[in-house]
Amino acid sequence: MRRWSVAVASTSLALVACGRGAAGEPRERTMVRLVRCAPATPSPSNSTDVGELFGISGEGEGEDEDDDRLVGGFGRNTEPSTAKLPKRTSQVSFGMPTASGMLDTMLLQRLVVAKVPEIRACFDRELAANPMLGRTSLAWRLAVAQDGRVLYADPTSRSSSNAVATCVSRVLRTMLFPTRATGGSITVTYPIVFDVIVEPEPPEPPPTTRSAAWTPFGTDAPVAAASRVARAVEAALHDRRATVVACFPPAAPTGSLRAMIEIDDDGKARSVQAGGLGHAASERCVEQALSGMTVVAPAQQPVEIACDYARGDAQPWRVTPAAYRVITTSRKQLRYESQTLVIGAPEPEPLLDPGTYLVLADADATGAMVTLALQWASEGNGAIIAVRDGARAPIFLGVGRTASADGIDGLARGTAQPGLRLGAKLLTACVGRATQRAKLADVTAVGSLVQWLATRCKTARCISTLSVALDPDAIVRDLVEVIGAARRAGFDRVLLGTDAPCGTQDDDEGRSERLSGPDDDE
C-alpha cells in the first residue's frame, strides 16, 4: 500500500470539512476558521459507550428542537440562572436611645449589645431568602416595667420586611433590666440600623489545562443541556477570533486543532486543552487565548465542549509527543526512557509511571509490537497510538486498549459491536454475524468495506465505538489507511488493540451470513 501518506493527507476528521491541499504546504494567505463547537464525545475507553448508537447522537435529548441559535453570546435560556451571587451578610449598629424617665442608657446599650447575634440573625435569615434586601433602619419603642421586664417592643414605623421586625421585637422582649424601687414603667426609643455587607469573593483560581495529556475525547457522556452550552461557547469564541488567529504564525503548520473546553455550572471555562495540530506553541497559545471566558448559557453541572479549528485545509489530527509518556515502537524493539523490549519478548510488567502513554510507531512496525507496547502501558491513565510522519508531527490514529480502556462489556440488548481486524494482507469487517473482507492492496476496496460496515451499523443498532484488532503480522502503515477510511465513514471513536472482534481468518468461513465483497477471488 504505497499511497498511504497521500491518503492520510486528504483525510478529514469528523467535524472538519475535507480539503485538497498538500499536507503542510504553506500558502500566501492561510485562513484560520472556527469550524464548530459540539458536546465532547466520550473516549472509546469510557464505559458510557454502552448504549450509545453509531450515527445517533444521544446528547441534547429533551431540548427544544427549535432552540434558537445564539448570536453574539446571547439567546434563549430556558433553565433558571445558576449565576452565583456574592455572599452577603449584615452589620448591626445603633442610634442614640431616648427615654421617658430615668434610665441608665449605658446599661441599656450593654443589654442590647448582648443580643446583637440574635438580632443580626433575624436580618440574615431574611437576607438569605431575599438577596435584594438592602440597608434597613428602624426604631423600636420599648416599655420597661418597674420589675425590669420588657412589656412590649414594637417598631415605630412600617418595615420593608415584616419578618425582620417581628423577629427583632421577639428578641428585645427577652431582655431583663434591673428592678427599680420607684418610677413605674419607662418608655425607651432605640434606633437600630442593618447594613448589608457584601463579602469579597476569594480570588478565582486561574483556569488550568487538564492534568491528562490531550485527546480529542471527553471523559463523560454529554449532559442534556450540552448542545445549548456548545452553541454559547461557539458564539463566545467568535469574539476571541483575533486572539486565536494570532496564535498561528506563518511558520505554524496547516491542519486541524481541537480545543477541549470544560465549562463550569457558572458558565466559566475552568479547563482548556488544545491539541491536534502537532505544533506545541500554537496549541499552548490557544489554551491561553480561550482560558477565562464566560458563556451565558451554563448547565446545571460542568460540561465538556469540543471546538474544532482549521488552519487552511482540514487534516488528520497530530500529536505533540512531549506532552505524553512516549513508548517508541519500531519493527524490532520498544523503548521507554532507558528501558528496552525486543521482538519476541514475553508480556512485560506494566510501567508504573502515571499519565497518558503515547505509542509512537514507525510505519513498518507490526501489530505484535503495538500490542506489546499497549501491554507495557496497560496501567497508565490511558494510551493513544500515533504513527511517525517524517519531519512532521505524528499522526493520531486512536485510543489504545489498556486497563482503563478494556474493550466493551455487556452490550445493551438489541445492539451490536462493529469491528475490524487488520491482518498482513486482508482487512476483515464484522457486525453481528455478518462478515466481509477486502484486500489491503486495494485502497478503494478498503474504503468500500468500511463504508459497508457503517451502512450496516445504521440498521443493526451498533454502539459508537469501532473496535480494531491487530494481527501479529499487521503493519502500521496499513492501519493508517484503515483509520482514515473509518473516520470518513463516520467512526470517530476507535479503540485499537482489542481482542479480535471478528474472530480469526478461519472463523470468517463459518459465519452464517457471508456478503459478496472484494475478497471473493481469494
* 47-101 confidence digits (pLDDT tens): 444 445 655 544 433 343 333 332 222 223 333 334 455 667 788 888 888 888 7
The reply to whether 460 and 365 lie within a common domain is no
pLDDT given for residue 433 in this prediction: 85
The reply to whether 112 and 186 lie within a common domain is yes
Distance between CA atoms of residues 522 and 228, nearest Å: 51
- As a whole number, mean pLDDT of residues 151-161 equals 83
Is residue 86 in some structural domain? no
303-311 vs 32-39, strand pairing mode: antiparallel
Distance between CA atoms of residues 260 and 408, nearest Å: 24
Sheet holding 269-275, edge to edge: 32-39, 303-311, 255-263, 269-275
Which of 220-234, 326-340, 366-380 is predicted with the least confidence, judged by mean pLDDT? 220-234
Note the pLDDT tens digit of each residue in 448-457.
999 999 999 8
Of 351 and 198, more confident? 351
- As a whole number, mean pLDDT of residues 298-313 equals 88
Q: Which residues of 18-52 are buried (b: 16+ CB within 10 A; e: fewer)?
A: ebeeebbeeeeebebbbbebbbbbbbbbbeebbbb
Is residue 15 in some structural domain? no
The reply to whether 244 and 296 lie within a common domain is yes
Judge contact between 13 and 317, C-beta under 8 A. yes
CA proximity to 466, closest of 453, 480, 452, 479: 453
Reduce the DSSP state of residue 368 to 3 states and report it. helix
Note the pLDDT tens digit of each residue in 384-422.
999 999 999 999 999 998 766 554 555 666 678 899 999
Is residue 248 in some structural domain? yes
The reply to whether 338 and 251 lie within a common domain is no
Judge contact between 88 and 127, C-beta under 8 A. yes
Distance between CA atoms of residues 466 and 443, nearest Å: 20
Secondary structure (H, E, C), 485-502: HHHHCCCCEEEECCCCCC
CA proximity to 247, closest of 218, 287, 298: 287
- As a whole number, mean pLDDT of residues 293-311 equals 87
Reduce the DSSP state of residue 60 to 3 states and report it. coil
| Residue 491, Cβ density class (10 Å: 0-12 exposed, 13-18 middle, ≥19 buried) | buried
Band of pLDDT at residue 277, cut at 50, 70 and 90: very high
Query: pLDDT at residue 278 above 90?
Result: yes
pLDDT given for residue 221 in this prediction: 75
Judge contact between 136 and 195, C-beta under 8 A. no
The distance from CA 162 to its chain's CA centroid, rounded to whole angstroms, is: 46
Note the pLDDT tens digit of each residue in 470-487.
999 999 999 999 999 999
Task: Copy the grid coordinates of residue 1.
Answer: 500500500
Distance between CA atoms of residues 348 and 329, nearest Å: 14
* CA 494, 497, 498, 500 torsion-angle sign: positive
* 123: number of Cβ within 10 Å: 24
339-342 vs 333-336, strand pairing mode: antiparallel
For the CA atoms of 338, 339, 344, 347, what is the dihedral angle to 10 degrees?
-160
Query: pLDDT at residue 510 above 80?
Result: no
Query: pLDDT at residue 442 above 50?
Result: yes
Is residue 87 in some structural domain? no
Distance between CA atoms of residues 463 and 461, nearest Å: 7
| 143: CATH | 3.30.2420
Task: Copy the grid coordinates of residue 374.
Answer: 499497549
Alpha-helical regions (H) of 307-391: 367-376
Is residue 6 in some structural domain? no
Is residue 455 in some structural domain? yes
CA angle, 270 as apex, 269 and 271 as ends, to 5°?
Answer: 100
The distance from CA 391 to its chain's CA centroid, rounded to whole angstroms, is: 32
Distance between CA atoms of residues 43 and 399, nearest Å: 8
The reply to whether 340 and 396 lie within a common domain is yes
Note the pLDDT tens digit of each residue in 191-203.
988 888 776 655 5
The reply to whether 426 and 442 lie within a common domain is yes
Domain end position, chosen among 253, 277, 311: 311
Domain end position, chosen among 400, 431, 449: 400
Query: pLDDT at residue 368 above 70?
Result: yes
Band of pLDDT at residue 11, cut at 50, 70 and 90: very low
- Among left, alpha and beta (phi > 0; psi -120 to 50; other), residue 410 is left
* DSSP secondary structure, 389-404, as one string: ETTEEEEEEEEEPBTT
> Which residues fall within 8 angstroms of residue 81, CB to CB, at 6 or more apart?
none
Of 506 and 61, more confident? 506
Alpha-helical regions (H) of 239-361: 241-245, 280-290
pLDDT given for residue 515 in this prediction: 39
- Backbone φ and ψ of 411, nearest 5°: -60, 140
Reduce the DSSP state of residue 455 to 3 states and report it. helix
Note the pLDDT tens digit of each residue in 455-464.
998 888 888 8
Domain end position, chosen among 285, 311, 337: 311
Is residue 23 in some structural domain? no
- Backbone φ and ψ of 321, nearest 5°: -55, -30
Of 75 and 256, more confident? 256
The reply to whether 124 and 49 lie within a common domain is no
Query: pLDDT at residue 336 above 80?
Result: yes
The reply to whether 428 and 503 lie within a common domain is yes
Distance between CA atoms of residues 216 and 273, nearest Å: 9
pLDDT given for residue 504 in this prediction: 57
| DSSP secondary structure letter of residue 224 | T
Is residue 218 in some structural domain? yes
The reply to whether 305 and 329 lie within a common domain is no
Band of pLDDT at residue 519, cut at 50, 70 and 90: very low
Report which residue type is found at 226.
A
pLDDT given for residue 254 in this prediction: 92
Our count of domains for the chain comes to: 4
356-361 vs 382-389, strand pairing mode: parallel
Of 161 and 45, more confident? 161
Give percent above pLDDT 90 in the chain. Answer: 41
- Backbone φ and ψ of 474, nearest 5°: -65, 155
The reply to whether 110 and 163 lie within a common domain is yes
Task: Copy the grid coordinates of residue 497.
Answer: 488493540
pLDDT given for residue 511 in this prediction: 43
CA proximity to 14, closest of 45, 40, 46: 40
Give percent above pLDDT 70 in the chain. Answer: 76
* 323: number of Cβ within 10 Å: 19
Judge contact between 143 and 177, C-beta under 8 A. no
pLDDT given for residue 395 in this prediction: 95
The reply to whether 210 and 192 lie within a common domain is no
pTM attached to this predicted model: 0.64
Q: Mean pLDDT over all residues of the chain?
A: 79
The reply to whether 182 and 219 lie within a common domain is no
Q: Domain of 488?
A: 419-514
| 473: CATH | 3.30.420
**How far from 369 is each of 130, 332, 338, 348, 419, CA to CA, in Å?**
66, 8, 18, 12, 21
Task: Copy the grid coordinates of residue 245.
Answer: 488567529
Query: pLDDT at residue 257 above 50?
Result: yes
Distance between CA atoms of residues 387 and 398, nearest Å: 10
